[in-house]
């Protein structure tokens, strides 16, 4: 059974022993291990039951520390890093051989990020290696945004969960790489595309297929509850599924005819909706509803990331 606590020294000693620890970040909780140690990294894949074709994000605390494991930081990448780190932005940069191939699924580039969470930044500073850390959930299921979410699902498999409170952003980082020199968003996430474009100008957004190894992990079905989920016009969907026990996950509006209704943000605030999204999906997935009905939110700011997660949650495997 794992221990939940906020002792950085305890997390540090488990990580130094080559084992995995769950860590808080502002996006979602991560399952972390020494990124320079292939055996430690292998435990992450085993605990999550994550396929090894899905590479991991490496977390560090400074640009100086980053230089020890990436070959170069191109101009546009360093503009973004200076503007948004620590924060919900992941950059794909050419890796040095010191990063094991397991971390990048054999790809030449490593995904890197400086997370914006005080406990985790202090932990990273205290270590002499960076941390590989995907979300701390079983592969394919809803990402965890609290220490308790991690304990509920992986509690038996990890020794320690560093508790840093509820994640403030609530959706995964935005991933940016350069494809033939063009800045490309490979996953929409906690940093809006508008914010990125203000710093480096127009970017392209890659729509990703389920089997494209250049952007692994962007699987069609992901972040998914066990109860089937459908998105669209909620009023219409409620009619379509009448007779079933219905849970509704709505953005702003209440749906009193549903058996259960979780409203993401009564004031229509997309940041609040993102922050509550995964907790809401988990809560509804733990009811005896037969179907979860949801709707897309306005496709601006964090709305893009929310809609992306909702789409994947609704997709069939
Ligand atoms: P997670 O840490 O679970 O949020 O997922 C990390 C995601 O980052 C993966 O599923 C990939 O989509 C992406 N990623 C990580 N490393 C790379 C890489 N080297 N090249 C391309 N995409 C990557
Ligand atoms: Mg994940």
**Mutational pocket test of ligand 1: of 217, 223, 312, the residue with most ligand atoms within 8 Å of the beta carbon:** 217
CA distance 150 to 161: 8
| pLDDT digits 0-9 by tens, 41-88 | 999 999 999 999 999 999 999 999 999 999 999 999 999 999 999 999
| pLDDT digits 0-9 by tens, 165-187 | 999 999 999 999 999 999 999 99
Does ligand 1 lie within 6 Å of residue 134's CB atom?
Answer: yes
User: What pLDDT shows up at residue 224?
Assistant: 87
Does ligand 1 lie within 6 Å of residue 32's CB atom?
Answer: no
Does ligand 1 lie within 6 Å of residue 107's CB atom?
Answer: yes
Ligand whose nearest atom lies closest to the CA of 139? 2
How many angstroms separate the alpha carbon of residue 135 from the centre of ligand 2? 4
Q: Where are the beta strands (DSSP E) in 12-119?
A: 21-23, 30-34, 57-59, 89-94, 109-113
CA distance 284 to 202: 38
Nearest to 194 by CA among 84, 273, 113, 85: 84
CA distance 144 to 120: 16
More confident residue, 237 or 208: 237
How many angstroms separate the alpha carbon of residue 238 from the centre of ligand 2? 30
CA distance 247 to 284: 7
User: What pLDDT shows up at residue 2?
Assistant: 74
Residue nearest to ligand 1 atom 1, measured at CA:
134
Ligand whose nearest atom lies closest to the CA of 217? 1
The strand pairing partners of 178, in sequence order, are: 183
Phi-psi region of 206 (alpha: psi -120 to 50; beta: other; left: phi over 0): beta
For every residue of 188-254, DSSP letters joined together read --SS-HHHHHHHH---EE----TT-TTSTT--SS-SB-SS-EEES-HHHHHHHTTTS-EEEEESS--
How many angstroms separate the alpha carbon of residue 134 from the centre of ligand 2? 5
Percentage of residues in the chain having pLDDT higher than 90: 92
Where do the domains of the chain lie, and which CATH numbers do they carry? 3-205 (3.90.870.10), 229-314 (3.40.50.11030)
Does ligand 1 lie within 6 Å of residue 104's CB atom?
Answer: yes
User: What pLDDT shows up at residue 213?
Assistant: 46
Mean pLDDT of 231-249: 98
How many angstroms separate the alpha carbon of residue 75 from the centre of ligand 1? 22
For every residue of 283-302, DSSP letters joined together read HHHTS--SEEEE-PPPSSTT
Q: What is the pTM of this model?
A: 0.95
How many angstroms separate the alpha carbon of residue 239 from the centre of ligand 2? 34
Q: Give the atom of ligand 1 at the shortest distance from the alpha carbon of 104.
A: 19
The whole-angstrom distance between residue 134's C-alpha and the CA centroid of its chain comes to 7
User: What pLDDT shows up at residue 316?
Assistant: 77
Does ligand 1 lie within 6 Å of residue 172's CB atom?
Answer: yes
Q: Give the atom of ligand 1 at the shortest distance from the alpha carbon of 187.
A: 12
Does ligand 1 lie within 6 Å of residue 55's CB atom?
Answer: yes
Ligand whose nearest atom lies closest to the CA of 57? 1
Ligand whose nearest atom lies closest to the CA of 142? 2
Does ligand 1 lie within 6 Å of residue 92's CB atom?
Answer: yes
| pLDDT digits 0-9 by tens, 75-128 | 999 999 999 999 999 999 999 999 999 999 999 999 999 999 999 999 999 999
Q: What protein residues have CB closer than 5 angstroms to ion ligand 2?
A: 135
CA distance 307 to 248: 16
CA distance 297 to 277: 11
CA distance 170 to 48: 19
């Amino acid at each position: 059974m794992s221990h939940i606590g906020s002792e950085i020294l305890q997390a540090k000693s488990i990580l130094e022993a080559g084992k995995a620890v769950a860590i808080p970040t502002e996006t979602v909780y991560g399952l972390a291990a020494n990124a320079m140690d292939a055996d430690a990294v292998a435990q992450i894949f085993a605990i999550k039951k994550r396929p090894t074709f899905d590479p991991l994000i490496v977390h560090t605390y400074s640009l100086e520390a980053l230089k020890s494991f990436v070959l170069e930081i191109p101009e546009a990448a360093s503009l973004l890093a200076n503007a948004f780190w620590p924060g919900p932005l992941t950059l794909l940069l050419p890796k040095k051989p010191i990063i094991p191939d397991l971390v990048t699924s054999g790809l030449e580039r490593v995904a890197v990020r400086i997370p914006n969470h005080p406990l985790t930044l202090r932990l990273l500073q205290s270590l002499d290696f960076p941390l590989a850390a995907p979300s701390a959930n079983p592969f394919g299921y809803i990402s965890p945004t609290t220490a308790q979410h991690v304990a509920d699902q992986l509690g038996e498999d990890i020794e320690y969960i560093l508790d840093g409170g509820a994640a403030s952003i609530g959706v995964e980082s935005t991933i940016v790489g350069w494809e033939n020199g063009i800045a490309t968003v490979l996953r929409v996430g906690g940093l809006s595309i508008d914010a990125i474009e203000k710093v480096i100008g127009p970017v392209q957004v890659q729509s990703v297929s389920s089997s494209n190894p250049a952007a692994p992990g962007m699987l069609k079905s992901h972040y998914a509850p066990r109860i089937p989920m459908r998105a669209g016009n909620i009023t219409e969907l409620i009619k379509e599924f009448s007779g079933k026990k219905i849970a509704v996950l709505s953005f702003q509006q209440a749906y009193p005819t549903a058996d259960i209704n979780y409203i993401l943000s009564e004031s229509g605030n997309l940041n609040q909706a993102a922050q509550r999204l995964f907790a809401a999906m988990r809560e509804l997935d733990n009811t005896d509803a037969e179907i979860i009905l949801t709707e897309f939110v306005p496709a601006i700011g964090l709305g893009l990331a929310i809609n992306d997660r909702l789409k994947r949650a609704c997709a069939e495997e």
